[in-house]
A and B are shown apart, each in its own frame.
Chain A
């Protein structure tokens, strides 16, 4: 498997760092190499915060994401900053309330009700990052769903296993429904 680069962005507090940590951890549990890092600073508190993940079956030398293969944005501010200048084959995943103000560079775009699903279906908006993991799992098919659930449950607080498992499932379903609508 060649080097894959991921960019996850949102508003500070939406859990995009944890999303990246779980993604990287799942890769490592599956025997791959992974590197996770983040852009943070004064702008990350309330503004756009970004988490980067690199996954490869080879050594990862250069530690930064330059041309992401998968870009996920959970907020308008994040999309304004990070859903631009993407490469043609990049996959862009957006919460469906986001409006693109600029040409993203790719036409592979998923508009999914990520925040609405977390808030209304799962009952907790803070599960948007875990719903996103289900989405990434279904789109990338990098790991098995079970592997993803195992690493999510390893990182979330005790007592929240049921809603987090449901959040993954909901994410998987969002992608399936999107594909059905498209076909």
Chain B
């Protein structure tokens, strides 16, 4: 039976998705255009036995969420550009200590406090490289209210499965738009809980059991005493200066994100396309409108949309580059994911860029004009 259609804002869909996935803790510091996520978490969490705390700043916001996750609660924090910058150090801590966590960045114009009420996609590279060291990260980018719901559930699932922070990289357009959504019933889509210690053997906090991907998680307060640190650590969780250990540990943190189920993408008319737009988040909505129109006019264009933007869909983008005439990366910034696509195309095809960073979304007419220019000059 079909559920009732609801009109819902993107930021609310994020909170509903988090609750569906089992969020029990939210801590953060409100900032436009993410504030509704904090407001609604404050409203809904107490009704499911969860806890909401408004912290003194963004740094404390992520720190408390990490602490709650260590205590076994599925945790989330949300912010926008300026706050995302402040969270970077603790984001690295969660990577290093392998703490499941969801961080939402509803992007707005930057640098600095920038354009608080307008949209941007300028935090794409910050999501990947914002924290120091050879970090590894998962970032997901929704392009609708409905997808915001499902990707938030997925962000929690991946965080729990791979013991890693996961970034939901959305933007003002998607965060604030209200659209039609059908919410799934409880149990209709899978939710994943981190694996706990095995009972038939001693608990090794950072040892990986055979057949497992990551160490099993004993929440603090459940009887296992162990150490968690941002330093490189041994299997017992205590700091280790061993270079051999550091190499193995960091490699494992990177390798665990090679999981086949992490990569997600949408490919629209790419099979026979000569000219392909590569776009994500709200910008991809304009791309879809343009591609549909161009196809009606007989142009062989396609859209490739990374849904998991980090790690990037390397295999798929390389394959596209090997057979299309041009890939045009369209994004609300002055050239960020463009660099990643250039790297992957590696000279196999021309990679061009279409972008803007004044708060305005790219419009379908710009995509249409760009594609026609290519076909006219060919």
CA distance A38 to B117 in the complex (A): 10
Q: A28-B5, A61-B286, A63-B173 are in contact. Are A34 and B363 (CB under 8 A)?
A: no
| Cβ < 8 Å to B, chain A residues 88-145 | none
**Which of B43-51, B54-62, B174-182, B244-252 makes up part of the contact surface?**
B174-182
Task: Report the minimum CB–CB distance from A180 to chain B (whole Å).
Answer: 35
Known contacts A41-B116, A61-B364, then 11 further A-B pairs from the complex at CB < 8 Å, ordered by chain A residue: A28-B5, A28-B7, A31-B5, A34-B180, A37-B178, A38-B176, A60-B179, A61-B286, A61-B289, A62-B285, A63-B285
Q: Establish whether residues B6 and A64, one from each chain, have CB atoms under 8 Å apart when the complex forms.
A: no
Contact of A35 among B116, B177, B289, B364 (CB under 8 A): B177
Q: Establish whether residues B178 and A40, one from each chain, have CB atoms under 8 Å apart when the complex forms.
A: no
Q: A21-B7, A63-B361, A64-B361 are in contact. Are A35 and B178 (CB under 8 A)?
A: yes
Classify the secondary structure of B's interface with A: mixed
Q: Can you list 30 A-B pairs with a CB-CB distance of less than 8 A?
A: A21-B178, A25-B7, A28-B180, A33-B179, A34-B7, A34-B179, A35-B177, A36-B7, A36-B177, A36-B178, A36-B179, A37-B173, A37-B176, A37-B178, A40-B117, A41-B116, A41-B117, A42-B117, A60-B179, A61-B285, A61-B286, A61-B288, A62-B285, A62-B286, A62-B363, A62-B364, A63-B177, A63-B285, A64-B361, A64-B363
For the complex of A and B, list the 5 residue pairs with the smallest distance between their C-beta atoms, beginning with the closest.
A41-B117, A61-B289, A36-B178, A62-B289, A25-B7
Task: Report the minimum CB–CB distance from B181 to chain A (whole Å).
Answer: 9
B90 at the interface (CB under 8 A from A): no
CA distance A63 to B174 in the complex (A): 9
CA distance A31 to B286 in the complex (A): 24
A66 at the interface (CB under 8 A from B): yes
Task: Report the minimum CB–CB distance from B363 to chain A (whole Å).
Answer: 7
Q: Which residues of B contact A33 (CB under 8 A)?
A: 179-180
CA distance A28 to B3 in the complex (A): 13
B282 at the interface (CB under 8 A from A): yes
CA distance A104 to B113 in the complex (A): 36
Chain B's interface size range is 20 to 34
Q: Which residues of A contact B288 (CB under 8 A)?
A: 61
CA distance A29 to B176 in the complex (A): 20
Q: Which residues of B contact A41 (CB under 8 A)?
A: 116-118
Contact of B292 among A37, A40, A61, A66 (CB under 8 A): A61
Chain B minimum-CB-distance residue to A3 = B289
A24 at the interface (CB under 8 A from B): yes
| Cβ < 8 Å to A, chain B residues 56-81 | none
Q: Residues 178-197 of chain B: 1 if any A CB is under 8 Å from the residue's CB, otherwise 0? A: 11100000000000000000
Q: Establish whether residues A37 and B177, one from each chain, have CB atoms under 8 Å apart when the complex forms.
A: yes
Chain A minimum-CB-distance residue to B362 = A62
Which residues of B are interface residues toward A (Cβ below 8 A)?
5-7, 116-118, 173, 176-180, 282, 285-286, 288-289, 292, 361, 363-364
| Cβ < 8 Å to B, chain A residues 30-88 | 31, 33-38, 40-42, 60-64, 66
Task: Report the minimum CB–CB distance from A182 to chain B (whole Å).
Answer: 35
| Cβ < 8 Å to B, chain A residues 145-161 | none
Q: Which residues of A contact B177 (CB under 8 A)?
A: 35-37, 63
Q: Which residues of B contact A29 (CB under 8 A)?
A: 5
Q: Which residues of A contact B286 (CB under 8 A)?
A: 61-62
Q: Which residues of B contact A34 (CB under 8 A)?
A: 7, 178-180
Chain A minimum-CB-distance residue to B177 = A37
Q: Which residues of A contact B178 (CB under 8 A)?
A: 21, 24, 34-37
Q: Residues 1-43 of chain A: 1 if any B CB is under 8 Å from the residue's CB, otherwise 0? A: 0000000000000000000010011001101011111101110
Task: Report the minimum CB–CB distance from B277 to chain A (whole Å).
Answer: 13
CA distance A41 to B361 in the complex (A): 17
Task: Report the minimum CB–CB distance from A153 to chain B (whole Å).
Answer: 15
CA distance A180 to B292 in the complex (A): 44
Chain A minimum-CB-distance residue to B7 = A25
Q: Which residues of B contact A63 (CB under 8 A)?
A: 173, 177, 282, 285, 361
Q: Which of A21, A40, A61 has the most CB of B within 10 A?
A: A61
CA distance A35 to B286 in the complex (A): 14
Chain B minimum-CB-distance residue to A44 = B117
Q: Which residues of A contact B292 (CB under 8 A)?
A: 61
Q: Which residues of A contact B118 (CB under 8 A)?
A: 41
Task: Report the minimum CB–CB distance from B318 to chain A (whole Å).
Answer: 27
